[in-house]
Structure 1
Amino acid sequence: MDTSQITFDSTVPAPDHQDDPPGRVWTLQVTCSLISMALLLELLSISYMMISIALPQISAHYQTTQGAWLLTAFLLLGAVASPLVGKLADTHGKRRLLMVCVALSAVGALTSAVAPSFGVLVVGRALTGMLGPCLFLVYTLIRDVFPPRTVAMSVSIAISGMGLVAIPAPFLTGWLIDNFGFRSVFWFTLICLGVLGPLIFMTTDESPVRLRSKIDLVGAVLLGAGIAGVLIGVSFGPDWGWTAPSTLAYLIGGTALFAAWVVSARVIREPLIDLRIVANRPVAMTSLVSGLCYAVSAVFTILLPFMCMTPAILGLGYGFGVSAEGFAIFQAPLGAATVAGGFLVGALVARIGPRALMITGLVIMAVACALTAFSHESKPQVIIFSALVGLGGGIGYASAPNLLLAAVPQALQATTGAVTSVAQNVLPAVLPVIAFSVLNSRIATVVEGAAFYTDEGMTIGFLIAAGAAAIAAAAALALPRKAEQVTELEALT
C-alpha cells in the first residue's frame, strides 16, 4: 500500500489546539466530550458487572444452566466486530463508527429487555457487545481531536472511568435487581445509550484522519468465524465433553478458519489487519498483556458475587449471604480503586512510562487474587483484596492505550486498536469458562436448582486469575523500555 493513501479528509476541519494557551485547552466542549465518552465506557464496564450480579436470577427465570453465555456472547460479538469496525473507522471516520456502535448496542439492550426466551436474550446481549469496539474508538478519537496537552490524562480518565458512577453503580445495580428484577438493568442500559449517543455526537469533533483502502470482507468473515468457532468450542466444551464431536468440530473448524485468515492476510494487498503491524513486538505484547489484564478482572468479577452471595449457613467455608444490593459493599471499593488506578497512570505515565506501570498493576492483581484465594473468611479481608484488584486493573487498563499510542502511527491507531480489542474480548471470554469448568467439577450442593461450589473450587478459581495475572506481568517484561514506534513507511509498504 502506498503511504500516499493516508490522508486528512478535507471536508472535516482538523481541530487546531497546538497554540492554545494552557488555560484554554479544557474548553466546555472538550470537557463535555470527555465526560460523555468516559460515561459510555463506564457503561461498558458496569454492563458486565450488572449481568454478573443478575446472573443467578436470570438463570432461575429461564431455567437454564448456560447463563455464562450472556457474558460470552457479549464479548464474542465485540471480538468479531472489532477488526472490521477498526478498519471502517480508519476509512470513514471514528466518530461515525462510534455512533453506529452505540445505535446497535441500544437495539441489543432493547431486545434483551423484552426477550421472551433465553435464546433471544443471548442474541440481545451479543448485539449489546458492540459496546466493545467503543473502547478503542474512544481513545483513538481522543488522540485525533483533543488538545495535545489533554490527551494522556483524557485517555486515562476515559478508559478507567470518571469516578462519577464507580461507587454508586453497584448500589444502583443491586437496588434495580432486588426491586425491579433483572430486566431493569437492560432498560437502564437503553436509557443511558439514548442520552450519551446524541451528547457525544454534539460535543465531539470527527477525526480528519483517513486511511484510504478497501475493506477486506473475506478477511472479516474468516477472522470472525474463526474466533467464533474457537470460543463456542471452549465455552461449551465443559458441557459437551472436550472429546465430543461437536466440541472438536468447533475447535478444529475455528482454528482452520483462523489459519485461513492468516494466509489471506499475507496474500491480500490490503488486509483487514496488516500482520506486519501485529508482528511488531510492542503491538503484539500490548495486545496479549492487556487482554490478560481484562481476563483476570473478568474472572474475579464473576467469582466475587458467587462467593459473597452464597449463604453462610451452608457451611462451605465461604459466603456471606448478601443480596444483590448488599453486594455493593464489595463492588464499590473495587470500582473506586479502578478509577484511582487510572488517575495514577495519567499523573505518572510521562515520568515512569506505561511499561513499568503496566507491570506494577499486574503484580498487584496477582497478589490480590492469590490472597483472596487463600483468605476469604471475613468481609473486611475480601473488601480490601477487591479494592487491590481494582487498583491493579485500573493501572493496567490505562497503561494499555498509552503503550499502543506510543507504538503505532496516528493513521493506523484505530486498526491496531482493533487488534488489542480482540484480545481484550477473547481472553476475558475464555478464562472465565476455564475457571467455571473447574468449579463445575467441584459442586458441593444444589439448592432449588442453584449450584454451590466447594471451598477448594473457589480457591482454585481465584488462583487461576492470580496465575493469569502473573503470566501477564512476565509477558509485560518483554515490552521494550522505550517506545519503538512502527513508522508509517514500515507499516504500509
Structure 2
Amino acid sequence: MPDTPTPPPDTTAPASASPNPNVIVAVLAFAGIVVSLMQTLVIPIVPELPKLLDAPASDTAWAVTATLLAAAVATPIAGRLGDMYGKRRMLLTSLALLTAGSAVVALSDSLTPMIVGRLLQGLSAGVIPLGLSIMRDELPAERLGASTALMSASLGIGAALGLPIAAFVADNFDWHVLFWASTAMGAIALVTVLVLVPESKVRTGGRFDLLGGVGLAAGLVSLLLAISKGGDWGWASGTTLGLFAVGIVILIAWGFFELRTTQPLVDLRTTVRPQVLFANLAALAFGFSLFAVQLIVPQILQLPEQTGYGLGEDLLTVGLVLAPQGLIVMFAAPLSSKISQAKGPKLTLMLGALIVAGGYALNIFLMSEIWQLILVSCVIGAGIGFAYGALPMLIMSAVPVSETAAANAFNTLLRSIGSSVASAASGVILAQMTIDFGGHALPSENSFKVIMAIGCGAALLALLLASFLPHKRSTITAHGTPANAPATADAGHKA
C-alpha cells in the first residue's frame, strides 16, 4: 500500500552498524599473540624452577607439561562450545582463564600454585580457533583471507617474539614480573574483546557431547603424557607403554562413539572429506616442523664453543636470533592470502611446505654462524606463515558455517600434537647421539643434523599430503558461507 510506513532498517545487517573490521582483526590477533606468548614465557626460567620453587626438576617439569595437556583438552571443547553457545562468549571465558592463571603463577612461590596457574593458562588455547571463527562470521569476504592468515600465524608470531622478551625480563627482573605482564596482557585482551568484538548469531544449539568430551580428554591426556614424559620414564617402561595403549584404545572407542551420536563433539564425517582430512594431516606435519627449529637453534647457540659447533651464546641472544622469524611469519601472512585468492590455498600450502623443507635443508649446511641461523629460521618462518595462512581457508571453505570453531579447533589441536611428537622424537635423538665433553654428555653435531633432516622430511610429507587436496579452488563467499560446502552449510545460521 502506498501509505504503508517504511520498516525500520535491519540493524543486524548493514555494514555501517557493524564494528570496524580493522578493529576486530587487531583485537583478535592481539588475543592470539597473547596466548602464544604465554607458552614461551616460562622457557627462560625452566632450568631455575627447582631452586625457585624448592622442588625436584622432575616435578617442576609439570609447569610445562600441565599447560600442554590442558591446551590439548581445552582446544576442541572450546571450539565446540563456541559453535553451540557463542564464540565470543567462549573467547572471553578462555581469556579470563588465561588472566586468572597468570595471576596465580605471579603470586606463587611453590610448586602447586605454579602448576595450577599453568594449567589454567593452558585452558586458554582455544582463543586462536575461536578468533578464526569469529572472523568468518563477522568480516566481509574480501577481508577474510588476509585476516584469518594473520590470526592463524599469531601462534608462530607470539612463540618467536615471546622468547627474547621473556629472556630479557628474566635476566633483569624478578621472575614473577613475567607473569604479572602476562596477567596485564590477558586483562587487556579480555577487555578489548568485551568492548569491541561482537557476538556472532551463528549457533548450532543442541546438547553438548559430555561423554565425547570426557573420552577425548582421557585419550589425549594418556597419549600426550606418554609422549611428553616418555623420555624421563623410559620409552619401554610399563607406565609409558601402558599410557600409549590406554590412549589408543580410548581414542578408537571415542571415534566409534562419535560416529554414532547425533550431536558429536567432533563431526568425524566432516573430517574425512578429502579437503578437511588432508588439511588436518598437513597441519600435523607442520606442527612437527615448527617445533623442530625452535628446539635445535637454541641448543646450537648455547652449547660451548669448545665443542666445535656450539656458539656459546646466552638465552637473550637466542631470543634475538629467533625473533625475526616471528616478524617474517607476520609479513608472510598477507602474502599467503593473496596467493590463496589468486591460485587457491592448496598451492599456498604446498609452497609453504616446500619453503620449510628448503630451510631445513639449508640448516644442515649452515649452522656455524649466528647470521646463518637467523637466515634459516627466517626461511622456515616464511614457509610457516604461508602454510598457517592457507590451513584455515582450506578448513573453512569445506565445513558448514555452524561447525567453523570446532573444525578450526581440531586443526589447531593436530598442530599441537605434531609439536609434541617433535619434542619427544628430538629428545630421544639428542639423548642418544652425544659426545663426551669434560665428563658430561652433550648432543653431537650429527644429532642436530638428523633432526634437521627429519624436519625437512616432515615438511616434504606435508607437501605430499597437500598434493592430495582437491584441485578446485577453495573460496568463502560473503558472510562466511563456504562456496564449496555441502548443502547443510547454513544449518546453524539463525536470523
TM-score normalised per structure 1: 0.88
> Is it true that 1:64 corresponds to 2:63 in the alignment?
no
Alpha-carbon distance in structure 1 between the residues aligned to 2:271 and 2:199? 26
> Is it true that 1:270 corresponds to 2:263 in the alignment?
yes
Alpha-carbon distance in structure 2 between the residues aligned to 1:83 and 1:358? 23
What does 1:115-194 correspond to in 2, within 5 Å? 115-118=108-111, 120-161=113-154, 170-194=163-187
Partner of 2:6: none
Alpha-carbon distance in structure 2 between the residues aligned to 1:452 and 1:67? 22
Higher mean alpha-carbon deviation, 58-67 vs 251-260, is at 58-67
What does 1:36-55 correspond to in 2, within 5 Å? 36-55=27-46
Aligned-pair distance for 1:451?
A: 6.7
Instruction: Provide Cα deviations, 1:398-433, integer angstroms capped at 9, x if missing partner.
Output: 111111111112111112122212212222122211
Q: 1:125 to 1:446 in 2, by over 3 A?
A: farther
- SS in structure 1 of the partner of residue 432 of structure 2: coil
Q: 1:364 to 1:132 in 2, by over 3 A?
A: same
Letter in 2 for 1:473: L
Partner of 2:91: 98
Partner of 2:198: 205
Alpha-carbon distance in structure 2 between the residues aligned to 1:302 and 1:67? 19
Q: Is 1:370–1:466's contact at 8 Å kept on the other side of the alignment?
A: yes
Partner of 2:321: 330
Letter in 1 for 2:120: L
- SS in structure 2 of the partner of residue 243 of structure 1: coil
Q: Is 1:210–1:411's contact at 8 Å kept on the other side of the alignment?
A: yes
Q: 1:378 to 1:171 in 2, by over 3 A?
A: same
Alpha-carbon distance in structure 1 between the residues aligned to 2:59 and 2:376? 29
Letter in 1 for 2:21: V
Aligned-pair distance for 1:184?
A: 3.1
Structure 2 counterpart of 1:405, from 396, 404, 409: 396
> Is it true that 1:107 corresponds to 2:100 in the alignment?
yes
- SS in structure 1 of the partner of residue 312 of structure 2: coil
- SS in structure 2 of the partner of residue 444 of structure 1: strand
> Is it true that 1:79 corresponds to 2:72 in the alignment?
yes
Partner of 2:226: 233
Instruction: Provide Cα deviations, 1:161-195, integer angstroms capped at 9, x if missing partner.
Output: 49998987554333112112544332221110011
Instruction: Provide Cα deviations, 1:195-224, integer angstroms capped at 9, x if missing partner.
Output: 111111100110000102111100100111
Aligned-pair distance for 1:65?
A: 5.2
Aligned-pair distance for 1:478?
A: 1.0
Q: 1:41 to 1:433 in 2, by over 3 A?
A: same
Q: Is 2:228–2:423's contact at 8 Å kept on the other side of the alignment?
A: no
Q: Is 1:79–1:421's contact at 8 Å kept on the other side of the alignment?
A: no
What does 1:350-361 correspond to in 2, within 5 Å? 350-361=341-352
Q: 1:187 to 1:369 in 2, by over 3 A?
A: farther
Aligned-pair distance for 1:113?
A: 2.8
Partner of 1:463: 453
Aligned-pair distance for 1:13?
A: 6.6
Higher mean alpha-carbon deviation, 206-215 vs 172-181, is at 172-181
Q: 1:284 to 1:59 in 2, by over 3 A?
A: farther
Q: Is 1:280–1:486's contact at 8 Å kept on the other side of the alignment?
A: no
> Is it true that 1:489 corresponds to 2:488 in the alignment?
yes
Alpha-carbon distance in structure 2 between the residues aligned to 1:447 and 1:48? 34
Letter in 1 for 2:200: S
Partner of 2:14: 16
Q: Is 1:277–1:491's contact at 8 Å kept on the other side of the alignment?
A: no
Q: Is 1:318–1:377's contact at 8 Å kept on the other side of the alignment?
A: yes
Instruction: Provide Cα deviations, 1:337-391, integer angstroms capped at 9, x if missing partner.
Output: 1112112112222102111111111111112123223331111111100111111
Instruction: Provide Cα deviations, 1:68-106, integer angstroms capped at 9, x if missing partner.
Output: 654443232222122221221111100000000111112
Partner of 2:213: 220
Q: Is 2:72–2:413's contact at 8 Å kept on the other side of the alignment?
A: yes
> Is it true that 1:254 corresponds to 2:247 in the alignment?
yes
Alpha-carbon distance in structure 2 between the residues aligned to 1:361 and 1:148? 23
Aligned-pair distance for 1:15?
A: 4.5
Q: 1:218 to 1:370 in 2, by over 3 A?
A: same
Higher mean alpha-carbon deviation, 399-408 vs 122-131, is at 122-131
Aligned-pair distance for 1:440?
A: 1.6
Partner of 1:3: none
Alpha-carbon distance in structure 2 between the residues aligned to 1:65 and 1:301? 22
Q: 1:375 to 1:69 in 2, by over 3 A?
A: farther
Unaligned runs of 5+ in 1: 1-11
Q: Is 1:177–1:324's contact at 8 Å kept on the other side of the alignment?
A: no
Partner of 2:444: 454
> Is it true that 1:379 corresponds to 2:365 in the alignment?
no
Higher mean alpha-carbon deviation, 32-41 vs 319-328, is at 319-328
Q: 1:295 to 1:68 in 2, by over 3 A?
A: farther
Alpha-carbon distance in structure 1 between the residues aligned to 2:238 and 2:339? 52
Q: Is 2:33–2:157's contact at 8 Å kept on the other side of the alignment?
A: no
Partner of 1:9: none
Q: Is 2:227–2:420's contact at 8 Å kept on the other side of the alignment?
A: no
Q: Is 1:113–1:183's contact at 8 Å kept on the other side of the alignment?
A: yes
Alpha-carbon distance in structure 1 between the residues aligned to 2:51 and 2:311? 20
User: What RMSD in Å do the two structures reach over aligned CA positions?
Assistant: 2.9
Unaligned runs of 5+ in 2: 1-9, 475-482
